[in-house]
Amino acid sequence: MLLLLLAMASSGFVLQTLSFSLPALVRAWGVDAPALSAAFTLHLLGITAGALAFGRLGDLVGRRRVLLGAAALQGIATLACVACSSTSGLAAMRLLAGMGIGGIAANAVALAVDMAPRRGSSLWTTLVLSGVAVGSSLPALVVHWGAAPMRWQLLFWIGGAGTLLLLPVLALALPEKRQHTAAGEPTDTRGGFRELFAPQRAWITVTLWAAFAGSMLAMHLVTSWLPLLLEAEGHAATRAATLTGWIHAAGVGAVFLSAPAFARFGLHWLSVLLGIAFTSAALLAAFGLGNGALGVLMIAFGFGLVGSQSVLGTLAGHLYPERCRSTGVGAAMAAGRLGSMVGPLAGGAMQAAGYPARSMFTLPLWAIAVALLATGLLASLAGRAGRNHTAGS
């Protein structure tokens, strides 16, 4: 489980490299921030494609093998970003790195469910998912404690090299082992995507996807542009990185708290997390980025959104049978990434149009509202089954 957590942490770090490098990159290349919107969007498109393709491939040829290939792709593409000298080249490498991230996530979650003891399975799965939040919080520490001014390549060096150093450890120590399989459950993998829309789970799949999409749209719209927006509002670069890092650090706490809370309260806990995120986003939209409670609101926003995504990931891993588990997790994450691709594009358009910083929290309000509605529908469809499956499995 520790190895899976580390793999997810490497993805979390790589996921945030461009956001935290953005101010230094804009200065070094002399471009406007909206010119890098394509790099953000293609990165998310890569995660979507990787989660779908590598998720299905993991069900067909083995999750361990596919996870290793995805990790290699993530590391090589992230290191290749260092050599880029144009926005188009950077966007292409971020697309490939995103495919690696998507492949790691889909197969790591499925492996965690496979390998965890049946009792307390949701606890272990949520802990593995905490790796994303842990990794996402680390670039802020590098920026805060690193030499000033930071070279934009630094985070890409760390993310790429770290992933490739982890790869042989994963290859040597990570098993392709399933400790339990549901009694009588078929082990063939022919169902594929059709399994996700079987009569008993079609609406569950749709509502799960909507919740993922709303949550991830809100998260990526804010975190993609926040360091640059904070600097534009007069915050120092280290202060901007610290405030953004608090979102991810609070998410780490939310993930660890969510492990027992979700097992105890089920989808009600997911609604609480999304409600916290909605309230903090509403206050940020109303009062902007210069208010005295900014740090507290960032913490609340991260706690609610990152925590909700960990719960959704755990839920996805348990809603589908083993024969299509990687496919189901990958498809849910891909749906979320499709939603989140709207975020960087919308943020870039709002930047180019001269909207005030507080407006960047208006669209997330609507996205979180969609996630809340989907959660309510999901609870009515599968709340009892989800709680019994996760708490008792």
Q: What proportion of the chain, given as a percentage, has pLDDT over 70?
A: 89
Amino acid at 134: V
d(CA 200, CA 331): 17
Are residues 270 and 313 in contact, defined by beta-carbon separation less than 8 angstroms?
no
Residue of 47, 33, 7, 376 whose CA lies nearest to 208 = 376
Residue 389 binned pLDDT confidence (cut-offs 50, 70, 90): very low
The pLDDT value given to residue 178? 54
Q: How far apart are CA 107 and CA 281, in angstroms?
A: 32
pLDDT at 177: 58
Per-residue pLDDT tens over the stretch 306-344? 889 888 888 887 788 877 877 888 888 888 878 877 777
Which domains does the chain carry? 2-176+191-392 (1.20.1250.20)
Supply the pLDDT for residue 183: 43
| Whether pTM exceeds 0.85 | no
CA contacts within 13 A on the Cβ side of 146: 22
Respond yes or no on whether the N-terminal peptide bond of residue 149 is cis (omega within 30° of 0): yes
Q: Are 321 and 24 in contact (CB under 8 A)?
A: no
Q: Which of 251, 259, 347 is nearest to 303 (CA)?
A: 251
Tokens coding 144: 């805060």
Least confidently predicted of 43-57, 94-108, 221-235: 221-235
Tokens of 313: 């990931």
Q: Is the pLDDT of residue 145 over 50?
A: yes
**Who wins on pLDDT, 355 or 80?**
80
- 284-310, pLDDT tens digit by residue? 888 876 666 888 988 999 999 988 988
- Secondary structure string (H, E, C) spanning the chain: CHHHHHHHHHHHHHHHHHHHHHHHHHHHHCCCHHHHHHHHHHHHHHHHHHHHHHHHHHHHHCHHHHHHHHHHHHHHHHHHHCCCCCHHHHHHHHHHHHHHHHHHHHHHHHHHHHHCCCCCHHHHHHHHHHHHHHHHHHHHHHHHHCCCCCCCCHHHHHHHHHHHHHHHHHHHHCCCCCCCCCCCCCCCCCCHHHHHHCCCCHHHHHHHHHHHHHHHHHHHHHHHHHHHHHHHCCCCHHHHHHHHHHHHHHHHHHHHHHHHHHHHHCHHHHHHHHHHHHHHHHHHHHHCCCCCCHHHHHHHHHHHHHHHHHHHHHHHHHHCCHHHHHHHHHHHHHHHHHHHHHHHHHHHHHHHCCCCHHHHHHHHHHHHHHHHHHHHHHHHHHHHHHHHHHHHC
pLDDT, mean of residues 156-164: 95
Given this model, what pLDDT does residue 8 score? 94
Identity (one letter) of the amino acid at 214?
A: G
Alpha carbon distance 281, 223 (integer Å): 13
Q: What's the chain's Rg over C-alpha atoms?
A: 19
Please tell me the distance from the alpha carbon of residue 259 to that of residue 53, in angstroms, as a whole number. 28
What tokens appear for 40 in the block?
Answer: 């953000």
Judge whether residue 191 has pLDDT over 60. no
Task: Give the pLDDT confidence of 229-274 residue by residue, as tens digits.
Answer: 787 777 777 777 778 878 878 888 888 888 788 878 888 899 999 9
